[in-house]
Structures are given as C-alpha cells and as structure tokens.
Structure 1
Amino acid sequence: MLYRSGLAAALAYALAAGAATAETAADQADGGEKATSQLEAVTVTAQRREEDVQKVPISITTVEAEKLQNIGAAGADVRALAGRLPSLNIESSFGRTFPRFYIRGLGNADFDLNASQPVSLIFDDVVLENPILKGYPIFDIDHVEMLRGPQGTLFGRNTPAGVVKFDSVRPSPDNEGYARINYGRYGTANLEAAAGGGLSDSVSARASILYQHRDNWVDNTFAGGKNRELEGYNEFAGRVQLLYGGDDFEALFNLHARNLNGTARLFRANIIQPGTNNIVSGFKPDQVSIDGYNSQHLEGWGGSARLKWDFGSVSLFSITGYETVEVYSRGDIDGGYGAVFAPPSGPGVIAFPSESADGLPDHGQFTQEFRLQSNDWGRFDWQAGLYYFDESITIDSFSYDTLAGGGQNGYAQQKQDNTAWAAYASGEYDLTDAWKLRAGLRYTRDEKDFQATRYQSPVGGTPIGPLYANPSASDVSGDLSLAYAASENTNVFFRVARGFRAPSIQGRILFGDTLSVAKEETLTSFEAGIKADLFDRRARLGFTVFDYTVHDQQLTAVGGAANFNRLVNADRSTGRGFELDLEAYLADNLLVTTGLSYNDTKIDDPTLAIQPCGAPCTVLDPAGPVAGTVRIDGNPLPQAPKWIANVTARYSIPVDNGEWYVFTDWSYRGSVNFFLYESKEFKGKSLTEGGLRVGYNWDNARYDLSVYGRNITNQIRVVGGIDFNNLTGFINDPRVWGVEFAVRY
C-alpha cells in the first residue's frame, strides 16, 4: 500500500511540475516573451559508448560541473553527493577518507579497510575497489553519472547495487583553464585550478590541482586531552593528463596524487538521549571531552593509460590502471574521558576506555581491460572484452591504553591478495525503427588469499594465528533490456539484470579469535521506466520503478555487546521503489531540477539473529534463539532511507556586461537505521540540508564573484553511531558561509 501510495505521489509530483512548465509555455504562446531557453542533450557513457541519456535503458542521474561546484564550495568531499541524487546515500565513520556508498538501500556499513561494497566507483574508466580509494577528491570534473541497479555486464568489480562514475575534464587543443578560490567560516579555504592546451598538432595536456583547508573548530574541554582542538584538515590533490590524438590512434595518460593530514571522525559519548533518538539537551557541536589521541594521515597516487585504435569497422580499447594508497587513522572510540572505574569520567557513563587505530601501510591495485567495439554496423552493434584485477593489501589494527598515557596495548595484522578476471560481451539490435533490444553476459572468476595474525591482545588474550581463508567464486551475470521509442522525444524501457558480489572476509581479530567469511551474493532486478523531453526541450523527465531480490546478501553485524564485527549472509533481502528526475526551464532565466526516490528494503530471513548493542540501548527486535541475540527478519537495510528528495534552482538577471544570479540546492534524506537491528536510539532522524549562492559574473562569465552558504539552516543531526556500551555518535557538518572568486580563460 505504501509503495502504491509513493508511486502515486511521484506521478502527481511529475505532473504538477510539468503543468507548471506547460503553463509557462502557454503564457508565452499567448503573447508573452518567446521561449528561447532549451535543455542541452546530456551525453553519457553508461553503456561504454557515447549516447544521449534519454535513450539509455537504465535509471541514470547525471551531475554537471556547476552543481558540483556549489555543493562542494565549503571544502566538501564526495559525501556531499548524498541525498542529492535519487536513491543515493553516502556516509562514513572515518570522515573524509572512507566513504560508504548505498544505492537503492544496498551498501555495506562495515568500517574495516578490507570491506567490500556493492556500489562500484569508476574514476576515469578505472575501478577504485578499496574503500579508501573511493574518497578521492572531486575537482576539475566534467560530469558524474550514477547508474542504478546491477551493472554486471560492462563494469569490472562488484556492481550489484550500481555504479557511480566520475569523468575528469579531458585535455583539449584549445588553451583554457580556470582558477577558483574561496574562504569561509572556520577558516575553510578551497583553491581549485586547472590549465591546459595544445602542445603540438597532435598532443594536448591538462593539469589541475585542489587544496582544501579547515581550521580546528572543535574545542576539547577535557583538561587532560591529548588534542586541544579538533576537526581541522589540510588536503591536496593533483592530476596531470596527456592526450595524443592521431588519425586512427588515441592515447590518454593520467597521473594523480592525494595527500591529507587532519583529524579522524570525532566520536561523542552519550550524545543521544536514552529511550529516544534526540540529541541530548545542551549539546554544543563545537565542544567535545575526550582523553585519547585523534589524527588521520593519507598519501596516495595512481596512474592510467587509456588507448584506442580505430580500425574502421571496429575499435580496440586498452585501459591500464594502477592505484596505491597509505592511510593511518587513530581516534578516541569511546568518545569521552576516563571510565567508571577510573574517575573522573564522562560525559555520562564511560564503561571502559577505547582508543584504536587502523592503518593501510601497503596497498597496490592493478587493472587491465581490453575491449573491442563495433562502429556503426547498422541495425546491430556489439562490444566484447577481457578484464583483469589484482590487489594486494596489508592492514594494521592497533589498540592503545588511554589511561596509561596512550601506549600501544594491542596489535593485529591482515594481509590479502585478491585476483579476478572476467570475459564479457554485449550487443544491441534494432528490431524496428522504434524497438531496440540490448543484452549482455559476463563471466567472472574471483579468488582471495587471506591471513590474519594477532600479535598483542588488548583484553588479556593470547597471540593468535595466522588464521587463513581462501574463498573463491565464479559467476555469470548480465542484463536484458527492451526499449521503445514512443515518439521522437519519448522512450520507454524494461530491464532485467543480474548482479554478483564476490565472497568477503572480515578479519578484525584484535578483539576476537575467529574470522568470518560471507559467501558470494547475487541480485536479480526488474525495472521499467520512461524518459521524455517535454515542451520543445524546455523540460526533461526520467521515471523508473524497480523491484529486486538479493540472495545470500552479505551483511556486517557491527559491534554489538561483544564489541566484535562479523559477516553474515541473509537468506534474502528485497527492495522496491521508484526514482524520479525532472529538470525544466520554468522561465527563460529560471532552471529548476528535482529528484525524488522511494526505497522500501527488507531483510527476509526468519532464522538470522545477531547480537544487539548493550545497555542503555533500547532494542526493538524480538529475542533470538540464543541468549543475547535478536532476530532481524523484516528490518530495513542499514543506512537505507525510504525517501530521498532534492531540488535546485538557478535564477539569473542579465545586465549589460554579465548577469546577477541566485543558486539554491536542497536535499532531504529520510530516517535510517544505523545497524542491522532496530533500536530507539540508533535510528537517525531525517536530515534536510540547504545551500545558497548569490553572485555576479561578467565579461561573458569569465569572472565570477559570489557569496555562499552550506547547511544554511544549521540543522545538526546524529548521522552515525558507535555500537558500543554508551550512546556514542557523530554528527553532520555545521553551517559554513564564505565568499568565492573565480576566473576562466
């Protein structure tokens, strides 16, 4: 019933927006100013070819450069995209370094540096598998594509939920570039610049940089705190690209790097009122009381070579990528100071201190893909390829004795080698001028060699290990779609797709004695949609309904009363809902975009039981078969809001040498469960954040001066929790305002 009501609401929403646009067009036809503003066609590479987004039979949302610049104005990282695309949520307990992506409710809340995610992130055609790699900063980006649903045919790794795809601005033979600098509250500074042009008739280059800074703006009120001020960061990233273009050969080389120094995510003890999900009264975002160290450092670099040979009827592509990253993140996990047995302690009850760190001292990822693609074969076109993935990682986990000055009292290490290869083929056939059939298959083989050793136990245990796990799996995934061009401007599609995620390993044995291995998961998805250009291309609509079932879904039981993570497989999980994208010129100088999604997810496994949090958490699930466990059958997936909505509006007033403009963007994310079980306290409230920019540009938009604000209503919410024995959580970013100047040439 709720699903049908949501569908009806979405249709009413689309019709109301369309009616407003139609009314504007009608007014102009009755003697008003003639309509001149039209939406430009959006080109995507969702099917590894350049196509009009309205003709691709997949639920896709794109984000163009101007929107990215606005939502990232206050030094934001990739998490700023959360809630600003239908069915997309992104969160992190590591802060800027470790984003966790969720599409249509499917993601992974595990904070292990080896955690597998069902959402794949592709940056400049190279998959970034490790979750640390997925935090690479967004700058000098041409556009972003989010592909919802399984993408198991054409993309390389673990894509049952979908793909988020970033494409940098390519080098051009034209001399062009820009610089953008802003400064705002809390000493927030953002400097971004790029320059490029032709080096010869056949060679072009482009270099781009990003520098972001924020002062430490949170005061530590505990007199013995190791860090007196927190939440600041310095981040630098750069990218150099070189493009060679001949008559029948093209080569694009990319070299990029990142460096981050700052503080880790700031945990706050007993921030939640017991028996509710309200923040405690008197809470001050700019204060904390902790006695542990807090720091975060990251260095990474990578490169790629994308080659293309044009043989006339076919083209051959080679994509070679290498990525490496090192990270160390240390934090006060209990979120307070002292303990009940070592007063003074607080805030609230601190049952025992916890201070830990995770490091990635050794990481390397190599990928190679060869793809052969037909060129205009008439009614039938195809592509086929081979893909290879090789990753080697070492993970260090440390524990520290806060009460003894922060000395190390625990150490464990994980090592893993992961190799995978795949062969795939995809084709599309024009059945008639209006009907098009697409189909694809992919065979994947994935193997992992894993070992974990505990050298020092923080809780009096003995050294253990090495413990070994060697899971492997093979699978055939794919998709089948049928598209119908109802008119020149309207396309309808139906798609069925199967996704696959390789087995995962949870080897954090610092506080436990066993490994857990989750077997492979598969997903079958059905979706149908309509895409239309309306009112002489003054409006564009995309609407999709979907229903999926995940078999053997990999879930992470985070923490619990035993303070130990383990992987489990749910027999089934289900999801259904819809997504709506609409953009329209409501007037020649007023462009509005809106997005809306409904996701109803459910764990379907009557036998699955896990450990919930300890006191004082109010658990709502029924007791499990073993004392201290609860059943989670029927619960929604964690971090899966039912409703996500967003809207942007840009209004401009042309003047002689430029324009005045106002840009605003708003996002709404419904309430979420932080963990697999349900409790009153660990259910995040809905979050609404808004941004505003007012500016003036002149000389054909070469120069731009503006003031901006982010989270302008200063809504503060608990956005994640620590499944511990106190009600510890972390919050979203506060309001930031500032001024920005940009120049282009």
Structure 2
Amino acid sequence: MSKTLCAAAIGLALHSSYTLAADSVVLEKITVTSQKREQYINDVSIAVTAFSGEQMDALGFESSTDLIAFTPGVSLAGDIGGQRAIFNIRGVVQNDYADIAEAPVAVYVDGGYLASTQAQTFGLFDISRVEILKGPQGTLFGRNATGGMVNTITAKPTEETEGYAEVTFASFEQKRFEGAFSGSLNENVTGRISVMANKMGNILENIYEDGAEPDTRAGTEGGGEDGYNDDTKAVRGQLNFDLGNNANLLLSANWADSTKSEGPYQVINTTEVKDAAGNVVDVIYAADDPLGCDAIQAGVCVDGNFNGDPYRPVQGGDFNGNIDPDGSGELVNKDFAFDDQNKIESKGLAATYDYEFDAFTFTSVTDWKNFTRVIGLDSDQTASPELIFQSDGDITQFSEELRLNGSTMNMKWVAGFYYLNIDTEYLQGLAASPTGGYLAGEEQNTLADITTDSYSVFGQIDYDLDDDLVLVAGLRLVQENKSLDGQLVQNANLDDRVIEVDDTATPLVDVALENDKFMWSAKLQLDYKPNEDTLLYAGVNRGVKAGNFNAPLGGAFSTYDPEVLLAYEAGAKLTLMDGKAQVNSSVFYYDYEDYQSFSWVNNAGVVFNEQAHFTGAEVEILLNPVDALDIMLGASYTDAVVEDLEVASGIFVDTTPPYTPEWQGSALIRYTWSLDSGSIAAQASGSYQSESFHNARNFTAHTIESHFKADARVTWEDTQGLWSVAAYVNNLTDSDHEIIGFDVSGFYGTTQMSYAKPRTYGITVRRNF
C-alpha cells in the first residue's frame, strides 16, 4: 500500500501545475524554556537542539529515540533489546539497566523529572516541543544532568476548539492511533485530552522445537513464541484554570501501559581469552577460534562450563552447540520466548501554579509519578534451558519545585528550592528449570529497597556588562540522603515467568547501607552578542551526578561516589544568508573526577568510580536556500577516555565509554511543491556513526560496527491544512547494525545482541480540526 501511495504522490507532483512553497520546516523559530524562562532558541547560550511538535509531525518523529539521529553528539544506549533507551550525550552515559539506577542525562516532561531510566522511552504524542541540552545542566535542573538533559513539553489546553486524529498502518502489522481534543470548558477553564495507542506484531520468528537438537532437554513450558513486538496505550489529560489576578493553575494526569515480548536479543557465540593467571584479557568471536575451545588460557583450551571437556560440541557454537539460525536476520531459536512477557506501566499527576507579582513571577511545580516493570528474558538466548533473567521494579517519586523569576534593567535572574523523594522496590534474579545446570530447579534473587531524599537550592543570573556582553553565573547546593536495605535470597523456582520470593526463601546476604552526600554545581560564562545574528559564548560548568548503590546479581552490594564533571565549552550561533541559514557549533573539554563507569561481566553489572576526560566538537547547519528546499546537516567528534579501568584483576587500561562513537553525522533534505490541491513534500534522510563498544572493557567481541541508516518520506497536505497523508520507508537499506549487547561468555559462551529493526513501510493519515 505504501509503495502505491509513494508512486501516486510523486506522479501528482510531476503532472500538476505547481509553484514553490514558502514555509521552511527546519528553520522554524522555536521558543524554548531551557533556562527556566522563555527564549528564542538562537538567544540561548548553550548547545541545545530543539524540535517543535509541527516539525516532528512533518519529519515523522514518533518516539524520543527518533530525535537522536539528528542531534549531533547524541547516541543511543539502552537495554532489553531496544525496548528501553538511555541517552548518551557526548559520551556521558551509564548504561546500568537496573531500576535503581539514574542516568547522567536527565529527562523531564512538563517540568517533572523522570528518575528511572525505564521511563525514558516514551511516545512523542501531542507534543509542543522537545529540547535536547548538551553539557552539564545541574545549576537549573538538578544533580543528575552531567551529560545534559532532554526536556519535553506537551501541547497545552487552548481557548479555541482544536484537535486532530492520526492513524498509521505499517509493516509487521503495525497500527498506531494518535489524537487530541482541546478547548474551553467555561470562561476560565480550558482542557485537553490526548491519547495514543500502538500495536505492532512480531519481527523475530522463533523456530524453536522443544527438546530438539543440539540440546534435547525440555525447555520452558509454553515457550518458543515469536518476539520483538509492542502493545502500548497512553492517555494524558490537562485542565488549565485562569484564576484571575495574574494567577494560573495547570493540572495534568497521565497513564501509559506497554506489553512487549521478552527481550528481543539474538545470540552471538563468543569465547573468553585468559592469561596464565586466569584473568579474562579479551573476548573473541567463537567462529574465529579454529580449535573450538570453551575458553582459551595462555593459548590452550580449558574447560569453561565444568563438564570435563575443554571443547565445544560444535566449532563456533556455544557451550551446548547452539548457533543462531541466520546470524543477524529475523530467525531465532530460543526456548524462553513469550510475546507478552515484559510489562511496563507508568502514571503521574502534576500541578503547575504561576503567579505574576509586579517584580517577579512565582512558580510551583508539584509532580508525582509511579513506574512498575516486570521483565524476563532468556539469559543465554538459545534453545538450551539454562538460566532465565527476571526483574521487577516499582518506583514512586514525588518532587516539588518553588521558583522565582525576575528581571531588572540589566539583569535576569532565577532562584528556587527543589525537593525530590524516590522510593524504589527492586528485585532481579536468575531462575533455572529442573533440567538446568547452575541453580537447577532454583532461583536466586537480589532484593533492594532504596529511599532517596534530595534537597537543593539554586540560582542563576544573566548580568549585562554592556550592550553586547553578558555574564552568566549560577550555583546549586544539594544535600542527598540515600539508604538501601538489600538481600540475596534463594528458593525453589515454581514458575519460570514469575519471580516468587516467600517466607521459605533462604537469605544468603542481608545488608543495610547509607550513601549521604553534599554536592554542588556551578556555572560561569560570558555571552557576546554583537548583533541580532551572532551569539558567541564561552564558560566553565561544574556538574555532579549523585552516588548510588550496586545491587548486582549475586548480592555483592556496595556504594559508589558521586561523579564530578568540570566542563569547559565555547560555542557560536550564527544566522546567515538573510535568515536562510543557521549554523550552531561548539567545542568542549570534560575533566571527570570519579566518573561512574558501568562494567558488565557475566550476568552482573557493577559501577566503579574512575577518572576520565573527553574532548569534542559539534556543528549543526539548518538551511532554507530557496523557499521550497530545507536541508539539515549535523556532525560531531568525540574523543572520550576512561583512564586506567580495571578490565581484569590487576590489569588497567584506558578505554572508551560504551555506546560512544568517535564520529557521527546526519543529513536531511526536504523539497516541497505547491499543488492545486495543496502541497507535497519529498524527504530523504540518513545518519552515520562510527565504531563503538557495548561494554566498558572494549574487548574484541564488544565492538558495535560503524553503520549508516537511511529513511525516506513523501507527504501531501491540503490547502487548508486539514488533511495530510504521508508514506514512508524507514531503514531504507535494511541495515542490520547492532544496537546493544551483553557479554555472558563465561556463563554460556555467548553474547546477547539486539539489532536495528529491519526495513519498514508505512502510511500515516491525519485530520486536523
């Protein structure tokens, strides 16, 4: 269907009389609130990329991760095979998958912080704009924004009646609906309701047969289903009250629920290489080992799975002889596979109150959120009934921000108080069927209850030294109190798909830990604006990310310290060609103390504090050289080094942080024709990133190869802007590049790997009213 629409749309363009359309998509003037006040984006003296809701609709962005490809210096990390995303900005990332972890890139929605990384992949439905800020944002946005932040603003209630309905049909039986309705309820009250639903069938075809070769043991009952799907529903409601006398109150509520298959990983067989002392000094692809060793120690095959045989049953296979049916293709062969295994639910309430006094504005932002998650996946990703990974999380958070904004003849200022409470109940473990080897018939679970109370006061001023020169100075003081009650327990595995811990569980470890810290962030910067088309800035920024706890599988509980980043940055924002071109560029140097480096080794991840330094540069170019043509270009270079990481016992090397490519580039070109019936736009885009690693140890088989991804889109819109139809092809070249991996070579002789979604076709129809 989508191919037919593309052909029809192009034919219409070629056979109709047309003139060039005048509106530019990429050079839209966007107002942002990245400095806690409304500013035109080109007047904001930080590296920020922003997309309005209209731009995202025109460019076809549907999720928070769609923005990454067109934001220089931003890449994707994550877990659960792409079912959840973690933003990596300029190499600043902590790819800890645990629900207790907070990312170094803060994510906000309508002023409310998302404490859990599990909430950071969200549908972009009925959005006003998204702002991606690079570099530490701790002065105004808190203690966990050393890398930057993603600030999402939803569309707000309107006095005029408006709304839209949008439906998408795409490959893999995808059906997506999005809609909103807004208007006045009475003279002083407006409201808006927004909904989204997405249903996508399975991408991965599972050929598993219970008890078949090479491992004839019975697998998980009812398993072997196809996977990599999505069933998501979300609703958001807002009421805005004009209270008169310069006061306004906005109330909002949101709910979202997702059901997905077990993690859509596939298997790559890998082999540990050890030195004479038994230290793992490399991990290679099993196919590159002509001897077919379980593991290689000092050049000799050694028994890696304790079965008395140092060789694998099949050369290039895992410890049981399994080999993926078609490599990175869409066929898998695994027993623990269910199309409805993983469930994520979120809900929230928020109230924003504003009162305009004569000299300043008072704002109160009250926010409550709850996230629950039930996750399970096949730890070995094969037909063998080994261990099942499982994880449950329940996170409740409450925050309150009280803020004052004001200005004088030569100064703009903001000051405030912020409180955040997070209560996390976290459980993760490994379960084995009766036929499994390690833990046969048992499950071993790590339990952690964590409470966080964070208090901060902050302020920032922009002081005019003269007409062209502005001094920016900011400070944030944070007191954070954290406590953990943790246990490691073991009990019978009664159901592979459910974590069950009861009074019969045997406690193996029982700990209580504290991690209370005082922290501070600061900013000092000079802005130079000689004319309306030029902004130059340079400064130093101190950012902090709070310390936390390690609660890995196996119950090795510990604490780690806050990381401190001293960031030096200079940038320029230039408007050229009489407003038809915008060039934004920046260079930076990051000096880290106690960088939080997440290392993953054989079903367990631990954060260590290290020293690190990063250097980089970015440029984005937005062009509208003629009225009909839009061009968006972006490029970044990042040289990130974590110093003396202990990759094996007593072995220290400099490494690159995970998911941090040295080079990234993107390009988008869009051409629009005016027709008698409206307008038609043809769009092509592509993004490239160089080689990176999915593991902090940077071993051979941890490599994510460089890759290029291309998309294409054709859109028709009527003359009144009421109807639009878009046809698209995503991943035009059907690239099968890796997204994320976890090395479990020592457990099974494998690595879990997820790949990009294959080429997909779709059509979207939208009606505005």
TM band (smaller chain): 0.7 to 0.9
**2:353 matched to which residue of 1?**
307
Amino acid at match of 2:484: F
8 Å CA contact 1:657, 1:700 repeated in 2 = no
Structure 2 distance, partners of 1:408, 1:174, is 61
| Mapped pair 1:578 → 2:610 | no
Structure 1 distance, partners of 2:604, 2:414, is 46
**Residues 51-78 of structure 1: per-residue CA shift (max 9 Å, x gap):** 12112111111123245346666xx643
Consecutive unaligned residues of structure 2, counting only runs of 5 or more, are 1-18, 211-218, 271-284, 290-315, 317-322, 494-504
Shift of 1:35: 8.7
Secondary structure, in 3 states, of the residue corresponding to 2:120?
helix
Identity %: 24
Of 245, 248, 268 in structure 2, the residue corresponding to residue 250 of structure 1 is 248
**2:401 matched to which residue of 1?**
369
Of 502, 516, 532 in structure 1, the residue corresponding to residue 574 of structure 2 is 532
Shift of 1:290: 0.5
Distance verdict in 2 for CA 1:408–1:243, change over 3 Å: farther
Secondary structure, in 3 states, of the residue corresponding to 2:70?
coil
**1:161 matched to which residue of 2?**
147
Matches within 5 A, 1:420-499: 420-456=454-490, 463-499=507-543
Distance verdict in 2 for CA 1:283–1:70, change over 3 Å: farther
| Mapped pair 1:91 → 2:77 | yes
8 Å CA contact 1:37, 1:538 repeated in 2 = no
**2:177 matched to which residue of 1?**
191
Q: CA RMSD in A?
A: 2.5
Shift of 1:81: 2.8
**1:6 matched to which residue of 2?**
none
**2:312 matched to which residue of 1?**
none
Shift of 1:305: 0.4
Shift of 1:458: 8.8
**2:409 matched to which residue of 1?**
378
**1:26 matched to which residue of 2?**
none
8 Å CA contact 2:442, 2:491 repeated in 1 = no
Number of equivalences: 672
Shift of 1:387: 0.2
**Residues 1-41 of structure 1: per-residue CA shift (max 9 Å, x gap):** xxxxxxxxxxxxxxxxxxxxxxxxxxxxxxx9999869442
Structure 2 distance, partners of 1:337, 1:517, is 37
| Mapped pair 1:610 → 2:647 | yes
Matches within 5 A, 1:525-604: 525-560=567-602, 563-570=603-610, 572-604=611-643
Shift of 1:286: 2.0
8 Å CA contact 1:557, 1:676 repeated in 2 = yes
Amino acid at match of 1:691: D
Shift of 1:710: 0.9
8 Å CA contact 1:401, 1:409 repeated in 2 = yes
Structure 2 distance, partners of 1:193, 1:540, is 33
**Residues 593-637 of structure 1: per-residue CA shift (max 9 Å, x gap):** 1111111100123xx4134xxxxxxxxxxxx52xxxx423x2111
8 Å CA contact 1:210, 1:237 repeated in 2 = yes
Matches within 5 A, 1:705-720: 705-720=725-740
Of 148, 156, 161 in structure 2, the residue corresponding to residue 170 of structure 1 is 156
**1:722 matched to which residue of 2?**
742
**2:389 matched to which residue of 1?**
356
Shift of 1:308: 0.3
**Residues 505-541 of structure 1: per-residue CA shift (max 9 Å, x gap):** 1112x4x242121111100001111101111111111
Secondary structure, in 3 states, of the residue corresponding to 1:223?
coil
More divergent stretch after superposition (516-525 vs 86-95)? 86-95
Shift of 1:664: 2.3
Secondary structure, in 3 states, of the residue corresponding to 2:56?
helix
Of 235, 241, 261 in structure 1, the residue corresponding to residue 232 of structure 2 is 235
Secondary structure, in 3 states, of the residue corresponding to 1:79?
helix
Matches within 5 A, 1:623-702: 624-625=649-650, 630-632=651-653, 634-702=654-722
Structure 1 distance, partners of 2:23, 2:384, is 67
Matches within 5 A, 1:70-469: 77-95=63-81, 98-224=84-210, 226-245=223-242, 246-270=244-268, 273-274=285-286, 282-283=326-327, 285-294=329-338, 295-338=341-384, 353-360=386-393, 362-374=394-406, 376-402=407-433, 404=435, 409-456=443-490, 463-469=507-513
Secondary structure, in 3 states, of the residue corresponding to 1:132?
helix
8 Å CA contact 2:377, 2:389 repeated in 1 = yes
Structure 1 distance, partners of 2:103, 2:517, is 17
8 Å CA contact 1:136, 1:258 repeated in 2 = no
More divergent stretch after superposition (115-124 vs 551-560)? 551-560
Structure 1 distance, partners of 2:522, 2:287, is 46
**Residues 239-274 of structure 1: per-residue CA shift (max 9 Å, x gap):** 111112234001111100001112132222226754
Amino acid at match of 1:395: Y
**Residues 133-166 of structure 1: per-residue CA shift (max 9 Å, x gap):** 2223221111111111111111134111111111
Secondary structure, in 3 states, of the residue corresponding to 2:178?
strand
Structure 2 distance, partners of 1:289, 1:34, is 52
Secondary structure, in 3 states, of the residue corresponding to 2:266?
coil
Distance verdict in 2 for CA 1:34–1:98, change over 3 Å: closer
8 Å CA contact 2:224, 2:333 repeated in 1 = no
Shift of 1:284: 5.6
More divergent stretch after superposition (473-482 vs 318-327)? 473-482
Distance verdict in 2 for CA 1:259–1:102, change over 3 Å: same
Amino acid at match of 1:524: L
Shift of 1:281: 9.2
Secondary structure, in 3 states, of the residue corresponding to 1:82?
helix
Shift of 1:275: 6.9
**Residues 523-572 of structure 1: per-residue CA shift (max 9 Å, x gap):** 00011111011111111111111111110111122124xx43222110x1
